[in-house]
């Protein structure tokens, strides 16, 4: 599927995953050690999340301190993370698609920065707080930010 957008070198792999309903920054590499280092808990990943409803200060504080989610049929408490309410990220090169109709009530945007990445973690976290995720955008990995047009590729460095 990646080959549809660009002629990538043999052995190119995605670092981390974006599910089908998510969008944003996707880093690629041919180096497994680089992939492992970026997926480690040493590297921050920041997501912009549109949630259903007007998120509360209490929900933001609880998300930041860690919430209980389901993971592989077990209960899991997420690690503390950074969470803050943000304005609609108009500056981002987001897919041009309408996710939420105001007839369905208000929505709000938050930034969640974490160092772990469990399966659908951000979606599970906001749902556990009563604010289902409507849109999920990976904005930043470490100091690399999303600032390219949709479906574009930029080589950052060649090891």
Whichever domain contains 43, its CATH number is 3.30.70.1560
- What pLDDT, on a 0 to 100 scale, did the predictor assign at position 157? 63
In 3D space, the residue among 64, 84, 80 whose CA is nearest the CA of residue 115 turns out to be 80
Contact present, 28 and 8 (Cβ < 8 Å): yes
Q: Specify the 3-state DSSP secondary structure of 34.
A: helix
pLDDT, position 158? 57
57, part of any domain: yes
pLDDT of residue 92: 73
Residue 78 domain-assigned (yes or no):
yes
Cβ-count burial of 122 within 10 angstroms (0-12 exposed, 13-18 middle, 19+ buried)?
buried
Query: Residue 64 domain-assigned?
Result: yes
Looking at the domain assignment, is residue 158 inside a domain? no
Catalytic residue flag (residue 58): no
For residue 82, the enclosing domain spans 2-145
pLDDT for 84: 98
Spans of the chain below 70 pLDDT: 1-3, 93-103, 157-159
Distance in angstroms between the alpha carbons of the first and the last residue of the chain: 24
**What is the number of domains present in the chain?**
1
Is residue 156 a part of any domain in this protein?
no
d(CA 94, CA 120): 20
Q: Which of 7, 19, 58, 143 is catalytic?
A: 19
Express each pLDDT in 69-99 by its tens digit: 999 999 999 999 999 999 988 777 665 556 6
Is 155 a domain residue? no
Residue 133 falls within a domain, yes or no? yes
Query: How many Cα atoms within 13 Å fall on the side-chain side of residue 82?
Result: 10
Cα gap 128→12, rounded to integer Å? 35
Q: How many other CB atoms are there within 10 angstroms of residue 154's CB atom? A: 7
* pLDDT at residue 150, rounded to an integer: 72
Residue 115: inside a domain: yes
Write out 44-109 in H/E/C secondary structure. CEEEEEEEECCCCHHHHHHHHHCCEEEECCEEEECCCCEEEEECCCCCCCCCCCCCCCHHHCCEEE
């Amino acid at each position: 599927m990646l080959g549809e957008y660009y002629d990538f070198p043999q052995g190119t792999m995605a670092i981390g995953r974006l599910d089908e309903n998510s969008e944003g920054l996707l880093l690629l590499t041919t180096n497994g050690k680089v992939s492992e280092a970026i997926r480690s808990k040493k590297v921050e990943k920041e997501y912009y999340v549109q949630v259903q409803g007007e998120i509360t200060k209490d929900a933001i504080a609880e998300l930041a301190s860690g919430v209980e989610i389901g993971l592989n049929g077990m209960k899991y408490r997420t690690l503390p993370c950074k969470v803050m309410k943000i304005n609609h990220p108009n500056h981002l090169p987001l897919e041009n698609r309408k996710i939420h109709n105001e007839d369905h009530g208000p929505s709000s945007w938050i930034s969640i920065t974490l160092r772990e990445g469990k399966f659908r973690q951000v979606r599970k976290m906001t749902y556990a707080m009563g604010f289902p995720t409507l849109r999920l955008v990976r904005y930043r990995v470490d100091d690399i930010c999303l600032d390219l047009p949709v479906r574009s590729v930029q080589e950052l460095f060649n090891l």
